[in-house]
Amino acid sequence: MAIRKLLTLSRRPLLLSSRSASTAAALAFPDLAAPAPARPPVMHYDRLAEAVRSKIKRLDDPDPRFLRYASPHPALADHTSVLAAPQTRVTTLPNGLRIATESTLSSRTATVGVWIDAGSRFETDETNGTAHFLEHMIFKGTQSRTVRQLEEEIENMGGHLNAYTSREQTTYYAKVLDKDVPKALEILADILQNSCFDEKRIERERDVILREMEEVEGQTEEVIFDHLHATAFQYTPLGRTILGPAQNIKTITKEHLKNYISTHYTAPRMVISAAGAVKHEDIVEHVKKVFTKLSNDPTTASELVAKEPAIFTGSEVRIIDDDIPLAQFAVAFSGASWTDPDSIALMVMQSMLGSWNKNAGGGKHMGSELSQRIAINEIAESMMAFNTNYKDTGLFGVYAVAKPDCLDDLAYAIMSEISKLSYRVSEADVTRARNQLKSSLQLHIDGTSPVAEDIGRQMLTYRRRVPVAELFARIDAVDASTVKRVANRFIFDQDVAIAAMGPIQSLPDYNWFRRHTYLLRY
């Protein structure tokens, strides 16, 4: 009976699932097993997208420990405590020479200097480089002091004597102890009025300046901005370099230097600035005694600028050099002059774009959206927004350094953020930029030398020292609507100037940049 039941059970069909059947077939006939379906390959762009998404997720959900004292919603900072700045006193002598001082009773040092409304802009093609050459020669001895006597006199009193030349201004200043201020003024007056330009010294200084030109050519940022000025203001005096061409350096003579002094180093175009442990009445009396040989030619720098104005030209210059490991470029729009009502708004817009450096380590949490995009996507080594002002024009833009394969993404990020200022601006970003700008302005005048420089520069550009309270009020008057209006004036559908150097084959062409000065909205 048991055997018959077993035979009956064995006649029932064996029911297997499809998966079990395939498994059994694979076990019985391994050579005929069906291959498993292949997964789709993971593309390179998918991996990049996943990496970016993971980075953004970490940014959206950061470590709460770092947000304990954070301020994600900026509020307008109160700077009332810094508005009570010392008064800037100004006296104008009969010959037109202006004397401006700011006294700090707690200081034991002082900076006195001469700020002159003259620079490389007021040269010709044949004399380009004379202003900088004169800056070198002014310390090479006077009628009463040899070079050695001049250097020993400065060092014996522990002072610091220096000078610099820009496109529109030339400066000679000394930083000394309070008791040596009269001596410093006397030395400045001597070198500016009684310099004797020895022919041997001139020949020796040619080689020094030519070596300095070689050093400047190694500073890529300086080279880029020289090329940017040359292409943006081509065929105008502002497009010339400060050092001048090498051929001019080899041909500048004693007569060129004397003519430049007699023409541009005049009393109406000079400001004596002093800050620190100084008394205004004492400075005025010392200046009257020592500055007695200045020309009182009434011709002003503004009149000379009106004869040869700077005209912005939309153009580009590209220098391809594959031997340089990193590519760098600057893109700029025509900016505002010093006295333009919108110059303050451009300063706020510069703070909104910000700056970033890979070595600094920050950036992914910065207020600048441009810095965030660059830091998250790692498409640049450094980036810096700039706003340069001149008497009748300016330059506003961004300078960046990046690897060659990142140039297209970096250019897109820069132009996207710049053009966005014409369309979409949040009050929070403007508030943050205003706070940063006000703090930056105060941090840059920490010390007697920066204060004296600020006084001299403002006296030449504004013809007065702008009080801190007025400056902060002008900054606080900038809101989102102001930024949009100014961006529509200077950026929206405007020509650009581009200077690029290095392995820049992948940098988009000029028409691409010009097309991205506005957004196509449908």
Residue 217: per-residue pLDDT: 86
- Sequence spans of domains, the chain: 88-301, 315-517
Tokens 């302005």 locate to: 441
Q: Please identify which residue in the block is written with the tokens 């051929």.
A: 247
For residue 30, how many C-alpha atoms fall within 13 Å in the half-sphere facing its CB? 1
Q: Which CATH superfamily is domain 88-301 in?
A: Metalloenzyme, LuxS/M16 peptidase-like (3.30.830.10)
Whether the Cβ atoms of residue 474 and residue 344 lie closer than 8 Å to each other: yes
Report pLDDT digits (tens) over 365-396.
788 889 989 988 889 999 999 999 999 999 99
CA distance 349 to 437: 10
- Catalytic site positions: 135, 205
DSSP letters, 410-431, are HHHHHHHHHHHTTT---HHHHH
Residue-level pLDDT at 89: 93
| CATH, range 315-517 | 3.30.830.10
Write the pLDDT tens digit of every residue in 49-87.
787 777 766 665 555 554 444 455 677 766 666 666 788
Question: What per-residue confidence (pLDDT) applies to 41?
Answer: 64
Dihedral, 266, 268, 269, 272 alpha carbons, nearest 10: 100
Model pLDDT, residue 197: 87
In the chain, what is the straight-line distance between the N-terminal and C-terminal CA atoms, in Å? 88
Hey, how many other C-beta atoms are within 10 angstroms of the C-beta on 4?
7
**504 contacts 320 by C-beta, under 8 angstroms:** yes
Side chain identity, residue 94 = P
Residue whose structure tokens are 């506003």: 396
Q: How far apart are CA 333 and CA 310, in angstroms?
A: 14
Instruction: Check residue 18 and give its pLDDT.
Output: 42
pLDDT of residue 2: 43
How is residue 360 annotated by DSSP? G
Tokens of 175: 């930083």
440 token code pair: 């930056």
User: Mean pLDDT for each consecutive 10-residue tract of the chain (522 residues)?
Assistant: 41 42 44 52 72 69 51 66 77 94 90 95 91 91 89 92 94 94 95 89 90 89 95 94 92 90 93 95 95 89 90 96 94 96 96 90 78 90 95 96 94 94 92 93 90 95 92 94 96 96 95 90 51
Token pair for 280: 């205004």
pTM of the predicted structure, to 2 decimals: 0.83
Contacts of residue 6, defined as CB under 8 A and 6 or more positions apart, other chains included, come to none
Can you give the pLDDT at residue 339? 94
Task: Examine domains 88-301 and 315-517 and report if their fold is the same.
Answer: yes
In this prediction, residue 362 carries a pLDDT of 67
